[in-house]
Structure 1
């Protein structure tokens, strides 16, 4: 007796679990020896079943904690980026400047005694104009050079000057009467000595500063 495929396939689960009798086993094996389709069916039944992990009760909480952690890291990075951008913007606003003209600066000089010494004071009368020194002030230098600049954000610059007490720029420069004060403006380079404007003259290949009346020289260099 040869079993048909339908009956054999019904018996295959029991056969695979060794629950059939010897006679049934013989019939099933006889059929399998000549039926590739039923052989594949038996092979599929005998494959191990994948083990599904038990669901963890705190899995949703872990997902929430991971999402919050990622959000916290992103927030911290954005905060650091915002601080860096704010610092850069503040530095740019503090240093953003353009050369000021002599007319914008409204330069004015006068003499006075300070600690018993005769000094020359140079002040700017223009709004938002500063005198910026190229090098730190030194009483022993023969020539003091400053630049007249106009800050693009004068209120912001003045606020930071007041907060940090910086002396990098000011509205007035004090020099001794023996020093030559050179002011570089956008449209001219001005020279002062003893509170008076002086001019550059070329004498025997050298540049001297003074007025025509003082030096009795002509023409100007």
Structure 2
């Protein structure tokens, strides 16, 4: 007996749940053997139904809380980065240095006798200025060369110095009175001998062509010598 599809589809829910009577189950299975449409209907019924989670009453508050937490983390990170940048800038400004001019250095020299040795002392009295000895120092050297340096931002350097400790650079240099002190500045080079500023002159040219240099004034060596 061929039953109408509508009758079979009324029985399909009972059949799918396995609660149809044996007679109804036999009729449905007989019909399904020859009806593609009812078989598809049964397949759709047997597919699992997705379960939607129940909405949480505090879900909007959780979303707002997470957003505020993310903003707080970004704000703290930005503040920490700004502080680190400010500290780095202050440290750079406090340690930034460059060659000083002769006017900035404000040199002053004097002689002193100590332990039987005649010494010549050069002091740089400008604010934040110190003297760096080039190539090391030895009492046996004929010429000692120093460079006058200064801090680009002396006010920031003073504030940083108050935090980190005492000044490490020297504002004076001591040589013997027989040594010539060459002081390199940003705008000029100066020479000091026996506590006095001198000029550099060529003293003589030997017969073999060797040029002998000396340090002194024109009055000391005479105007006939060529300036070097």
- For this structure pair, what is the TM-score category when the shorter chain's length is used for normalisation? 0.7 to 0.9
Q: Deviation of residue 197 (structure 1)?
A: 0.9
Task: Tell me, yes or no, if the aligned pair for 2:105 and 2:129 is still in contact at 8 Å.
Answer: yes
Corresponding residue for residue 33 of structure 2: 33
**Alignment correspondent of 2:10:** 10
Secondary structure at 2:25 match in 1: helix
Secondary structure of the residue aligned to 1:220 is coil
Residue 209 of structure 1: aligned partner: 215
* Match in the other structure for 2:168: 167
Task: Flag the 1:77–1:135 CA change in 2: closer, same or farther, 3 A.
Answer: farther
Instruction: Report how far residue 188 of structure 1 moved.
Output: 0.9
Deviation at 1:134, TM superposition (A): 3.2
Structure 2: stretches of 5+ with no match in the other structure:
55-60, 206-210
**Aligned-pair CA distance for 1:14:** 1.9
Instruction: Please list, as runs of the form range in 1=range in 2, the aligned pairs for 1:69-218 lying within 5 A after superposition.
Output: 79=80, 85=85, 88-161=88-161, 163-168=164-169, 170-202=170-202, 203-204=204-205, 205-216=211-222, 218=225
- Secondary structure at the aligned position of 1:25 is classed as helix
Query: Cα 1:51–1:10, aligned 2, differ >3 Å: closer, same or farther?
Result: same
**Compared CA separation, residues 2 and 171, structure 1 to 2 (3 A):** same
- Output the aligned Cα RMSD: 3.9
Superposed CA offset, 1:56-105 (max 9, x none): xxxx99xx89x979x779968974x5676456434422342333222232
CA distance in 2, matches of 1:42, 1:102: 103
TM-score by length of 1: 0.73
Cα distance change on mapping 1:134 and 1:50 into 2, 3 Å = farther
Summarize the Cα distance change of 1:27–1:176 in structure 2 as closer, same or farther, 3 Å threshold.
same
Classify 1:112/1:10 alpha carbon distance in 2 versus 1 (closer, same or farther; 3 Å): farther
The verdict on how the C-alpha distance between 1:166 and 1:133 changes in structure 2, with shifts beyond 3 A counting, is farther
- The number of residue pairs the alignment matches comes to 215
Flag the 1:51–1:142 CA change in 2: closer, same or farther, 3 A.
farther
Q: Is the 8 A contact 2:91 2:160 kept in 1?
A: no
Cα distance in structure 1, aligned partners of 2:159 and 2:131: 17
SS in 1 for 2:118: strand
The CA deviation string for residues 135-187 of structure 1, in whole angstroms up to 9 with x for no partner, is: 4444443322222233221123244456433433x332222222221111122
